[in-house]
Amino acid sequence: VALHTEGDRIVVKNCRLIGNQDTLYTGGDGNRLLFTNSYIEGTTDFIFGSATAWFEECVIHCKKNSYITAASTPKDVAYGYIFNQCEITLNDEVSSVYLGRPWRPYAATIFMNCIFPKGIQAKGWDNWRNADNEKTARYAEFNNKGEGSNTCNRVDWVKILSKNKAENITLTNVMKKRETQTPFCQ
């Protein structure tokens, strides 16, 4: 693990997180994290955990055929991982990458306004060998570009967001604490 977070309202800016399996562990149910203009590299489930994390203008680099995310979002938390305006890149020999698989049943991950290379799996998402996860995992995509962004062959349990739904997924809305509506930054 290159970085393991356990605090609330953590900002990671202009950083390089380099590892293999389990590069970034976003710990702490209900914790809120913001990653901007950073580079995260790994192999299997290399972004994983239960915190809510917003990734803005980051490069997510896959070093082998595997899975990018393994969220374990708690059932009562609205958002898990949101990747906005990020670019997924792959090593030259990589040709089969899934966007994510659920570490726990209610995993939540959204990719929006991102650039996907050719090697993104047509199915996009994996159920981690458990069909029950297809009923509970909360995966979505919106307005992604690039050769791997075509959603025609995505698994039928991923949501393709409308523009109206996507417009409500903002940093401010995602980072509010439900109980207190405490903003991420004051």
The catalytic residues are 22, 45
Q: Amino acid identity of 21?
A: Q
- Is 172 exposed, middle or buried (CB count within 10 Å of its CB: 0-12, 13-18, 19+)? exposed
> What span, in angstroms and rounded, lies between the C-alpha atoms of 68 and 72?
13
CB 45 within 8 A of CB 83: no
Helix (H) or strand (E) holding 167: helix 163-167
> What span, in angstroms and rounded, lies between the C-alpha atoms of 175 and 185?
9
Token output for 10: 């953590």
> What span, in angstroms and rounded, lies between the C-alpha atoms of 92 and 74?
35
Q: How far, in whole angstroms, is CA 23 from its chain's centroid?
A: 13
